[in-house]
Amino acid sequence: MSFPATRMRRLRGREAFRQLVRETSLTPRNLVAPLFVCHGERVRRPIASMPGHAQISVDEAVDKAKKLVSLGVGGLILFGIPAAKDPEGREAYDPDGIVPRAFRAIKAEAPDILLWADVCLCEYTDHGHCGVVKNGQVDNDRTLPLLARAAVTYAEAGADIVAPSDMMDGRVGAIRKALDDAGHADTPIVAYSAKYASGFYGPFREAAESAPQFGDRRGYQMDPANSDEALREVALDLEEGADAVMVKPALPYLDVIRRVKDRFQVPVVAYNVSGEFAMVKAAAQLGWLDGERVALESLTSIRRAGADVIITYFAEEIAPLLGRTRT
């Protein structure tokens, strides 16, 4: 049938019609909020490149977790600002480190929220790389036991999910074995499987104080030009025991999200990263676009591409809007 018998606008004319045929849903439960935790009490250090976000102390993180629960947000993921850095990132796997302390405190006061642990060394090393450096290069195999140790530490502190973001080969298998051996066989692993060497991470590196002190991370993070390689990375992580996989960043890699979902039919997480957030915020502040509308549209596009869960800095401000009628 063609025009005039067929008029596609018929089901667009009223919000009730639009809701009736809407193909993609976006709810607060689909969102995970990142938090940056630091030592001290009642600390709140604003992050200039990420309006509305700050490095916060554990007590502030507890308050934030309670608010996220009230908004129905699906979970939170913690990144730690250590008291001191060293070549092997010891605070990453110290049971008394900032992230384990935060997990214990949040679990005690807001037990209903799902706690994700980012597993990496970059925030904790004095050189800013995601693993141990030897002769100017990241030593993949020497890094694996430290990542595994960190994952166990987080699980024991109350993390519900561990999410290795380091991009070392074999880290999922090492973490799975360590968790199982430590009595955490039921703790899921969400692997940052397709994590690209992206220019969109700049604001995060300010927030987490994790910029490399030499070189860059292209030797272990993925080339932005590759998508077939992403499928290989995902396949390997699933074989090693990953329960879900992640694509990072999200918006420049919507095609990768769709390919991963179509190929593997497993839970897919997408990370709507700091640079994606900062661009929208900057343009909105200049009056160049409607920030709320663009944020909602961006997150919906990530869901439409195939992501089941979105880690996003918009979580807290967007969650209250998701029950509101959209036009």
Cα 239 from Cα 241, distance rounded (Å): 6
pLDDT score recorded for residue 326: 44
Cα 157 to chain centroid distance, Å, stands at 19
Pairing of strands 54-57, 133-134: unpaired
Q: For CA atoms 93, 98, 99, 104, give the dihedral sign.
A: positive
pLDDT score recorded for residue 215: 86
Residue 313 annotated as binding site = yes
Query: What would be the CATH architecture of the domain defined by 10-321?
Result: Alpha-Beta Barrel (3.20)
Can you give the residue ranges of every domain in the chain?
10-321
Pairing of strands 54-57, 31-38: parallel
Cα 282 from Cα 74, distance rounded (Å): 26
Catalytic residue among 64, 85, 195, 261: 195
Cα 252 from Cα 249, distance rounded (Å): 7
Taking alpha carbons only, the member of 163, 166, 38 closest to residue 99 is 38
Residue 38 annotated as binding site = no
pTM for this model (two decimals): 0.95
Residue 122 annotated as binding site = yes
64 is catalytic: no
Residue 317 annotated as binding site = no
- pLDDT truncated to tens, each residue of the chain (327 aa)? 799 999 999 999 999 999 999 999 999 999 999 999 999 999 999 999 999 999 999 999 999 999 999 999 999 999 999 999 999 999 999 999 999 999 999 999 999 999 999 999 999 999 989 999 999 999 999 999 999 999 999 999 999 999 999 999 999 999 999 999 999 999 999 999 999 999 999 998 888 888 888 888 999 999 999 999 999 999 999 999 999 999 999 999 999 999 999 999 999 999 999 999 999 999 999 999 999 999 999 999 999 999 999 999 999 999 999 965 443
Catalytic residue among 85, 248, 261, 281: 248
Cα 128 from Cα 188, distance rounded (Å): 27
Q: Nearest 5°: CA angle at 232, between 227 and 236?
A: 145
pLDDT score recorded for residue 323: 66
195 is catalytic: yes
The residues, ordered by sequence, that sit 6+ positions from 240 with a Cβ below 8 Å of its Cβ are: 170, 172, 173, 176
Residues 212, 221 contacting (CB under 8 angstroms): no
Q: Identify the residue whose tokens are 């908004």.
A: 71
Residue 130 annotated as binding site = yes
pLDDT score recorded for residue 1: 72
Strand ranges (E), the chain: 31-38, 44-46, 54-57, 75-81, 114-119, 133-134, 137-138, 161-164, 190-195, 244-248, 268-272, 309-312
Residues 54, 45 contacting (CB under 8 angstroms): yes
Q: What share of the chain is helix, strand, coil (3-state, %, to 5)?
A: 45, 20, 35
